[in-house]
Amino acid sequence: MSADDVSRAIRRMAHEILERNHGADDVVIIGMQTGGVDLAQRLAADISTIEEAEAGSVPVGTLDATMHRDDFGLRPVMPEALTEIPVDPTGKVIVLADDVLYTGRTVRAALDAIHSYGRPRAIQLAVMVDRGHRELPIRPDYVGKNLPTRKDEIVDVNDEGVDLGDLLGEGDIT
């Protein structure tokens, strides 16, 4: 996927979010630290544009779910970045955004973490790449691209110093 393809996929996901939720009311987008933060910001910006609302009308937050992971004691675990939830999630529709969906364990941790801030009306999941190999009953609501992979492959969503998360190359799969 070229940078343009990524932009178009994000624009499509923004439309899908609006369609599914009948507009942007009560929608809060939370980017998973660190890979999902840019997707969250771009989704929010696109939604604002589509709705012809002023920029920043869709609240965007960040979430580090490290402390809720299930692999303590199996590998080193260290928080990566700060969590910032800009509004009380109670009664809102939270759209969790992440770059790559793989085993689903990070999402599981994030679901746990969000509930320590409040009780959302719904939580939906948007991912740039779904690479398969789920280990938990978790599925995305909005997908940029389904990318079948082998488990020993690495999906690299890199930024090349352009706008973060702009380039998503299938050529980057090793």
Chain contacts with other proteins (rule: CB under 8 A): 64, 66-68, 72-79, 82-84, 88, 112-113, 115-118
If the CB atoms of residues 23 and 86 are measured against other proteins, the closer one turns out to be 86
Q: Which residue has the tokens 């746990």?
A: 112
Sign of the Cα torsion 50, 52, 53, 56 reads positive
Tokens of 111: 């679901």
If the CB atoms of residues 55 and 78 are measured against other proteins, the closer one turns out to be 78
If the CB atoms of residues 73 and 137 are measured against other proteins, the closer one turns out to be 73
| Minimum separation from the CB atom of position 61 to other proteins (A) | 12
| Minimum separation from the CB atom of position 16 to other proteins (A) | 30
Rounded CA-CA distance 148/129 in Å is 10
- What's the count of helices (H) and strands (E) in the chain, helices before strands? 3, 7
Extended beta strands in 24-74, E state: 27-32, 60-63
If the CB atoms of residues 73 and 148 are measured against other proteins, the closer one turns out to be 73
| Minimum separation from the CB atom of position 108 to other proteins (A) | 12
Rounded CA-CA distance 170/153 in Å is 11
| Minimum separation from the CB atom of position 69 to other proteins (A) | 8
